[in-house]
Amino acid sequence: MKQLWAPWRLSYVRTAHEKGIECFLCKYPKLNRDEEYYILKRGEYCFIILNRYPYNNGHLMIAPYRHVVFPNDLKDEERSEIFKFICLAIDALRSIYSPDGFNIGLNIGRDAGAGCEHLHFHVVPRWRGDTNFMPVLSDVKVISQHLRETYIELKKVLDVLN
């Protein structure tokens, strides 16, 4: 069995549910500092944000503005726009990185691996052979591009995609 290790995420997961910490998917869009918080695209009901703790380069999340936990809590308009944004994310990632495939999904609840209770969908580009000896021997995953650089590239593409 192949495993995808992401030990750098542990500090986030450990603090994600501390009392008094506002949900980041609720907080960041309200601040209107999209570049600082890596919000790539906004819609009427949802937004695309770069994952600060990525499994791979270009790891994106799509979330509704409304804090909901389960997919069946979404309104039809939110569901429709989220699916549209998942497709936009795939198009943008394909045009920049040419991945061989994608992992697309969601974790519902902390015990399922979600870092927060706010429903969000992951779009993770994958490349043939993107697991290598580093995670196995060193418990380290190499992300070869700085988040700021990833943000700039994806933002340019997503600004023209509708």
Given this model, what pLDDT does residue 104 score?
95
Q: Bridge partners of 63?
A: 47
Read off the pTM. 0.80
Residue 17 annotated among the catalytic residues of the structure: no
Across the beta sheet with 121-126, what order do the strands follow? 39-42, 46-50, 60-64, 121-126, 101-105
- Domain 7-160 carries which CATH code? 3.30.428.10
One digit per residue, the tens of pLDDT, for the chain of length 162 reads 555 566 666 665 666 555 556 789 999 999 999 999 999 999 999 999 999 888 788 999 999 999 999 999 999 999 999 999 999 999 999 999 999 999 999 988 767 766 688 999 999 999 887 664 444 444 545 556 678 888 999 999 999 987
Q: What residue segments make up the domains of the chain, in order of their start?
A: 7-160
Identify the active-site residue in 59, 118, 120, 122: 120
Instruction: Answer yes or no: are the C-beta atoms of 84 and 121 closer than 8 Å.
Output: no
